[in-house]
């Protein structure tokens, strides 16, 4: 006889490898079919649990589930929807327990960042209080790499690789043309308030002086004069300058570069991106011809150039989550524990959800170079293994074969729940 069902949901911004985690959860649960019944996935994340829109993954054939391992995006839909404090949102938390009880769900796997780990932790507490004990396991995911306790977050390594590869490639282009064309190239990358992704661009360097020549971090208050000096020096020495800027870059007073002068005289919001804002600063200050790129979603969905280590860890976290649940653990999150930089070795660890929740891990100061525009050898040692290895998806007709699921919902048993 099959055990109770499991609920799995994807939360927050999706990544190139979050579906590899989904794949692992489903494949591992299927292997333990005696202990776990069906894996029901939330349609659009936790919203699916509230609205009782539960995707029956048992209807998907093994080949399709296997294909999730190399398919970017969130196969069941994700959402930006944060359940609030349990005291103020009893209605929502109770509804979750009702839906879980109605569908015999006793396992809750929540795949997301800090907010999601917080939610998972509250669900297990409330379940106990209401006499419906749940096993709640968080599974780390975030391109921003800002979760505590885990050495790295699945999703980050692949964005890091995309950014390092793209920086190396675009720099070759700019270098080729700089005698008569573009002198300054600016690439804007993600990372919110943490500079992990921007830092990874430095892996494109093979020797001192290689591009990127400047990285603008959110952790370092933006110093326009210092930036212009270094850009000028770089162009004079090398003929061109490549800058990688984090979307979260800001002035000492906290104003984001992207927001500076964000209204025109008519009150219209100006368009834009940090990269064009920085390009304007360079143009105004030094007059160099520039180009800029904003990778936006391209970087976090670029499964075609995923890091093999990242894809492997994404899978390993999903498998560990199910194994943790079956081993009787609760309110924990599997983590990556690094045991060696070179050769890179890691093992599975665990962290209590109560401690992970809502803690943002910034880059340590020791990772930033003295002038604030680069990274240290220590940062390089940390970052290098995370982008290592290629893990290409299969291709057909020149394009990656990404799978599409049926995503059929199980029949509803409860009254509708207005969000």
Which amino acids are annotated catalytic?
144
Q: Which tokens belong to 353?
A: 């959800």
Window contacting a copy of itself (CB under 8 A); options: 97-105, 112-120, 167-175, 212-220: 167-175
Instruction: Pick between residue 310 and residue 350 the one whose CB is nearest to a copy of itself.
Output: 310
In angstroms, give the least distance from the CB of 277 to a copy of itself: 7
* Using rule CB under 8 A, residue 280 touches a copy of itself: yes
Among 276, 318, 334, 374, binds a copy of itself (CB under 8 A): 276
Binding mask 108-137 for a copy of itself (x = CB under 8 A): ------------------------------
Bridge partners of residue 266, in order along the sequence: none
HSE (side-chain half, CA atoms, 13 Å) at 234: 27
Q: Which residue from 335, 332, 348, 346 is spatially nearest to 385, judged by alpha carbons? A: 346
Cβ atoms of 39 and 5 closer than 8 Å: yes
Nearer to a copy of itself by Cβ, of 62 and 401: the residue is 401
Under rule CB under 8 A, residue 297 binds a copy of itself: yes
* Binding residues for a copy of itself restricted to 210-239, rule: CB under 8 A: none
Among 67, 77, 218, 334, binds a copy of itself (CB under 8 A): 77
Sites for a copy of itself among residues 359-398 (CB under 8 A): 384, 387-390, 392, 395, 397-398
| Dihedral sign for Cα atoms in the order 138, 140, 141, 146 | positive
Q: How far is the CB of 331 from a copy of itself (least distance, A)?
A: 26
What would the two tokens of residue 80 be?
Answer: 């930006």
- Cβ 318 to a copy of itself, closest distance in Å? 17
Cis peptide before 343 (omega within 30 of 0): yes
Q: Can residue 174 be called a binding residue for a copy of itself (CB under 8 A)?
A: yes
Contact 344, 307 (CB under 8 A): no
CB of 207 to a copy of itself, least distance (A): 10
Query: Of the candidates 9, 14, 54, 325, which one interacts with a copy of itself according to CB under 8 A?
Result: 14
Q: Is residue 196 at the binding interface for a copy of itself, with CB under 8 A as the rule? A: no
The neighbouring-strand residues paired with 263 are 269
Q: Is 114 exposed, middle or buried (0-12, 13-18, 19+ CB in 10 A)?
A: buried
The count of C-alpha atoms lying within 13 angstroms of the C-alpha of 135, restricted to the half-sphere facing its C-beta, is 21
CB atoms < 10 A from the CB of 42, how many? 28
Secondary structure (3-state) at 336? strand
Q: Please, what is the angle between helix 90-102 and helix 114-129, to 10°?
A: 70
Residue 39 or 47 with smaller CB distance to a copy of itself: 47
Write out the binding residues for a copy of itself, residues 37-76 only, by CB under 8 A: 44, 47, 71-75
Q: Of the candidates 61, 87, 131, 179, which one interacts with a copy of itself according to CB under 8 A?
A: 179
């Amino acid at each position: 006889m099959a055990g109770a069902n499991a609920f799995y949901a994807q939360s927050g911004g999706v990544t190139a490898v979050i579906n590899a985690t989904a794949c692992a959860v489903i494949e591992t649960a299927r292997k333990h079919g005696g202990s776990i019944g069906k894996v029901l996935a939330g349609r659009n994340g936790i919203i699916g649990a509230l609205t009782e829109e539960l995707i029956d993954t048992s209807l998907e054939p093994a080949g399709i589930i296997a294909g999730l391992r190399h398919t970017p995006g969130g196969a069941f839909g994700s959402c930006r929807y944060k359940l609030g404090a349990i005291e103020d949102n009893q209605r929502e938390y109770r509804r979750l327990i009702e839906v879980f009880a109605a569908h015999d769900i006793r396992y809750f796997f929540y795949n997301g960042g800090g907010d999601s780990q917080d939610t998972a932790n509250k669900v297990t507490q409330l379940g106990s209080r209401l006499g419906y004990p749940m096993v709640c396991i968080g599974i780390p995911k975030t391109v921003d790499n800002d979760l505590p306790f885990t050495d790295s977050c699945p999703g980050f390594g692949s964005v890091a690789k995309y950014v390092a590869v793209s920086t190396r490639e675009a720099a070759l282009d700019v270098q080729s043309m700089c005698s008569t064309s573009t002198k300054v190239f600016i690439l804007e990358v993600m990372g919110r308030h943490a500079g992990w992704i921007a830092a990874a661009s430095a892996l494109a360097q093979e020797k001192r002086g290689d591009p990127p020549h400047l990285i603008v971090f959110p952790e370092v208050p933006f110093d326009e004069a210092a930036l212009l000096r270094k850009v000028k020096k770089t162009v004079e020495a090398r003929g061109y300058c490549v800058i990688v800027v984090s979307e979260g870059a800001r002035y000492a007073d906290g104003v984001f570069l992207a927001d500076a002068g964000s209204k025109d005289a008519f009150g219209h919001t100006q368009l834009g991106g940090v990269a064009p804002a920085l390009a304007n600063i360079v143009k105004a200050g030094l007059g160099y011809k520039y180009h800029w790129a904003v990778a936006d979603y391209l970087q976090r969905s670029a499964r075609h150039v995923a890091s093999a280590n990242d894809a492997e860890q994404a899978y390993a976290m999903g498998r560990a989550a199910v194994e943790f649940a079956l081993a009787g653990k609760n309110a924990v999150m599997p983590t990556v524990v690094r045991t060696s930089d070179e050769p890179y070795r890691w093992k599975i660890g665990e962290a209590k959800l109560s401690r992970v929740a809502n803690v943002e891990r910034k880059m340590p100061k020791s990772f930033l170079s003295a002038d604030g525009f680069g990274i240290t050898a220590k940062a390089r040692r940390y970052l290098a293994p995370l982008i290592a290895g290629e893990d290409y998806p299969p291709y057909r007709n020149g394009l990656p074969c990404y799978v599409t699921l049926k995503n059929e919902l199980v029949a509803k048993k409860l009254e509708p729940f207005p969000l």
